[in-house]
Every structure is written in C-alpha cells, then in structure tokens.
Amino acid sequence: MGFPATEATANGGGMRSLPDFLGRKSKYVRMDDVLPDEQGDGGGVRVRGAGGSSRRYVFACSAFASLNHVLLGYDVGVMSGCIIFIQKDLHITEVQQEVLVGCLSFISLLGSLAAGRTSDAVGRKWTIGLAAAVFQAGAAIMTFAPSFTVLMMGRLLAGIGIGIGIMVAPVYISEITPATLRGSYASFPEIFISLGILLGYVSNLAFAGLPDHINWRVMLAAGIIPSISIAFVLLVIPESPRWLVMQGRTVEARAVLLKVTDSEDEAKERLAEIEAAAAVTISGKYDGKTVWQELTRPSPVIRRMLITGLGIQCFQQITGIDALVYYSPTIFRDAGITTESQLLVATVAVGFFKTAFIALAIVLIDRVGRKPLLYVSTVGMTACLVVLAATLAMLAHGSVSKSAGIAVAILTVCGDVAFFSIGIGPICWVMSSEIFPLRLRSQAAALGAVMNRVTSGAVAMSFLSVCRAISVAGAFSVFAVISALSVVFVYRFVPETSGKSLEQIESLFGGGCEVELGGAEHLVHER
C-alpha cells in the first residue's frame, strides 16, 4: 500500500521517498517501512533501516530452505548426459528416453499437490524435510536399477520428492521475509536450481570416463548428497510465523518474528497484520467455502490472481527452457558438434550462464521490480529463439558455414538461458508465492507448481517427436511464437508487487486501498 511521498507529512515531518535502482525518487513508500520517530526530535517519522543480524538470519533460512531445489536442478542437468550412457547400457528406445526424461515433471505435480495439504497440516518446515526423504529413496533406487522398469520406479519416487520441495520452499521464504527483501530471497530456489543444473553438467563431465554400466549410476548417486544436508537444516530454520498464527500458536509466531525483523515494534506490526488476515479466514467470512471451492469457483479477485499465478507458471515452461536444458546435447549435435566431450563442455557453458544470470536477478529483482525484469526476459528470449531457429534452418540447408552456425547456436542457447534466468525463471516462483491471500496461499501455490510441471513434462516428453516431425528449427520457431505471446501476457496480466507486504498485495487484483498497479500511472481506488 503506497502513498505519495512528495505530499504526505506526519506531525510536521515529511516521509522520505525510497530511491529506486535507477537513482530516481519513488513516489510511494510502504506504511510498514515508516515508524514513529524514536529520537524524540519533534515527532517526525523515519524509514526503518534493515538490521544486519535479522537480515543475515533471514538470508540463512532462505538459503537452507532452498536446498531441495538443488535436487531438481541436478536431476535436470545430470539427466542430459546420463541419458546418453543409459541408452548404451540398458538399450532403451527413443520413446523410453522421452518418457524417462519427461515423466519427472508429470509425477512431480502429484508431490506439489500433496505438499499443499501437507504444508497446511504439519507446517512448511517439516514438509521441506519430507521432500528430501522421498527424493533420497528415489535416487537410491535409480542408482542400483538393473532395468528400465526399476529405473522408472526410482525416478517416479524422486519426482514426488522434487514436487513437494519446489512448492513449499517459495511459500516458506515469502512468509518469513520482509517485503523489501522478499523478491531477492524468494528467488533463491531458482538460483539453487541453476546451481544444481551446473553441478549435474559437471558431474556428467567428471564421470563420463567411467565404464558405461557404472558412470550414469555414479552421476545419479551424487544427487543424494544435497538432500542429506536437509537433516541439519531442520534443526536450524524456524517454522513460518504465518502458519503458526493459523494454528493458534501466536506466542511461537511472535518469537520467530523477533528473529526475522529489526525491532520489537516491527515484529508487533507484522504480527498484527498476520493475525488480521488469519482472523478473516477463521471467522468464516468466505461463505463457508473450502480452499478448493474458492479456487475452482473463484471470485473475480481470486480469478485474476489465478490467471496471473497460473499463467506465469505456464509461460515459464512452455517457451521451451526445459527442452534447451534437457536436450542441449541433441541441439548442439544437430548444429554440428560431434564428440561427446565437446557436447558436455558446451552444456557446462549453458549451466554457467544460467547460474550467473540468476545471481544477477537476485540483485536486481527488488531494485528494478518484477515487471521490468519480466519484459527484459521475455523479449530477450523471443529474440534468441528466433535467431536459434533461423540458424538451425540455415545449417540444415547448408547456407551458413558449420563453424559459424555452431558458434551462433551456442551463443543463442546461452542467451536464451540467460534471459530466462534474469526474469521469468525466478520471478515466476516469487509471484506465485506472494500474490495469493494467506487462506489460499499454499494450495494455490501448489496449483501453480502443478501447471509448471505439466507444461514442463509436455515439452520434455514431446520435444524429440516434434523435432522429428517439423525439424529442430521448426520446434524452436514454435517456441519463439509462444515466447512472443508471453510478452503480451506480462503487459496485460502481471502487476508490480515489489515493496508491498503479503497482506497488501490482494488490493492489486481488486478492492482495497489506493495502490500503484504495475508500471502504469493509473490507480485502483476502493469503491
């Protein structure tokens, strides 16, 4: 909720405007960034500064909660190389390769749906632990699988664990993080996915020299290591204060808020906001509807939230990022790279770009805002996909030299991954975890994760077949068109949410007090 900083005053003291990333003065400040003057110098107001100790604590909790995302990233990255050696060892068909690669996304949606209920029942913290335990079991089965059938059983179990993990971490981080840091810290899961992908690529390169019946097993077994650290994480991180309030454990919630805020006054203020939101749910002001009744028969406000939340999850995957990551060796081979070592080195370069630009997104997301980064991301991806499709088509017709074509193909793949990573990659998860009200947050975020996994699986499982039908260049032409549509979606349906508390964001989609909507200059007023 914002107010014009150039006009508002309180007790004779003007509000200080917040400088944005470009050095201009913002017209708006958040009410919960303004505290009564404690210096006794005339009753003015001051904008609270971020405390070092609380920020470090929230940073650590956010990083620890994101460790499960390393598992998803590692699986995506390592499978791109593993599939080469699994095919040689188990003699699986092309269809079986597609099923093995793509099934993880579909089965993970079951984990995400289960996590919505589990995180409401036992808490966000213990759901994070459950995700790691289920993944460990699946990874162990895959490591020792003697056949394709057993390998699939392990992969399905690992997929459920990954589905649980990818849903709960963004919700947990959003619920413990102050509004001014939420965008950066809620992006941690995506950088951990990128880190996992890079580790998967490095694992491919490191163990490729082992015998074909051993190397892919060692690659898969290495994925168990990050999940073991979750046992330590559960001893360190607190439970979400919002979940504690919903369970009537207000004293515990206050204790957590004292750790993640800069002062006792701020903790009281945030606790009051959470209690007010929880009271609305508990008092039954929603006509006795269950969460799923609200989601399946939504009000206009919830419908707009669902369009934004589910839409951005869909566009994150349907623009083809998983095809680039899973099948980058196939794409580079089609461009003209032939040796396995060159293919693996090229995929490591893709992983490096993905990780580096996710890190840059974390720096920029709360300074620049969600929507500007989404524009940069979707426009940049569209341009890269157009160039990649054209390059692959020219290589197929021999109208460009092989060396030049390979260079352009590698650069455009890295560019597409970079633009994805600086915008829609992390922001998709940030927005899905912050735009829904408390009573719906975990279940709606789970629904968003399901949309993400369904589109990811559809792309991964159909990519080789589509390439065979219309060529690799044709497949990326389709992705380019869809990516262009994502630019329109961002313009039409995505508001700017940075700098607002979770309890204030609902007004961006409907009623409430005066707020700034996206980058536009118009305002939404309470009727």
Give CA–CA dist 170/496, Å, rounded: 18
- Report the candidate in 419, 437, 423, 433 with the shortest Cα–Cα distance to residue 309: 433
Query: pLDDT value at position 477?
Result: 93
467 shares a domain with 344: yes
303 shares a domain with 181: no
188 shares a domain with 299: no
179 shares a domain with 108: yes
313 shares a domain with 457: yes
Q: Is residue 266 part of a domain?
A: no
371 shares a domain with 222: no
Give CA–CA dist 159/102, Å, rounded: 10
Token pair in block for residue 204: 């491919």
Query: pLDDT value at position 504?
Result: 73
221 shares a domain with 328: no
301 shares a domain with 224: no
191 shares a domain with 313: no
How many residues comprise the chain? 527
Q: Is residue 39 part of a domain?
A: no
Q: Is residue 263 part of a domain?
A: no
Q: Is residue 19 part of a domain?
A: no
Q: Is residue 289 part of a domain?
A: no
Residue 293: left (phi > 0), alpha (psi -120 to 50), or beta? Answer: alpha
Which residues form the domain of 59?
Answer: 53-237
CA 113 from chain centre, in angstroms, equals 16
Give CA–CA dist 474/498, Å, rounded: 38
- Report the candidate in 480, 463, 461 with the shortest Cα–Cα distance to residue 472: 463
Burial of 526 (0-12, 13-18, 19+ CB in 10 A): exposed
Q: Is residue 61 part of a domain?
A: yes
Chosen domain end from 237, 259, 279? 237
Per residue of the chain (527 residues), what is the pLDDT tens digit?
Answer: 333 333 333 333 333 333 333 333 333 333 333 333 333 333 333 334 445 678 888 888 888 888 888 877 888 778 877 888 888 888 888 788 878 877 777 788 788 878 878 888 888 899 988 988 898 888 889 889 889 999 999 988 988 988 888 888 888 888 888 877 777 887 788 778 878 878 887 888 888 888 888 888 998 888 887 777 787 888 888 998 988 988 888 899 999 988 888 888 888 888 888 887 777 655 545 555 677 777 888 888 888 899 999 999 999 989 988 777 767 776 777 667 767 677 777 777 777 777 788 788 888 888 888 899 999 999 999 999 999 899 888 888 877 787 787 788 888 888 898 899 889 988 888 888 788 887 788 788 878 888 887 888 788 778 878 888 898 889 999 999 999 999 999 999 998 888 777 667 777 776 443 333 333 333 333 33
343 shares a domain with 214: no
Domain count, the chain: 2
346 shares a domain with 436: yes
Burial of 49 (0-12, 13-18, 19+ CB in 10 A): exposed
Query: pLDDT value at position 83?
Result: 83
The CATH number assigned to the domain holding 89 equals 1.20.1250.20
Q: Is residue 276 part of a domain?
A: no
Q: Who contacts 430 (Cβ-Cβ below 8 Å, separation ≥6)?
A: 170, 174, 182, 183, 186, 187, 365, 370
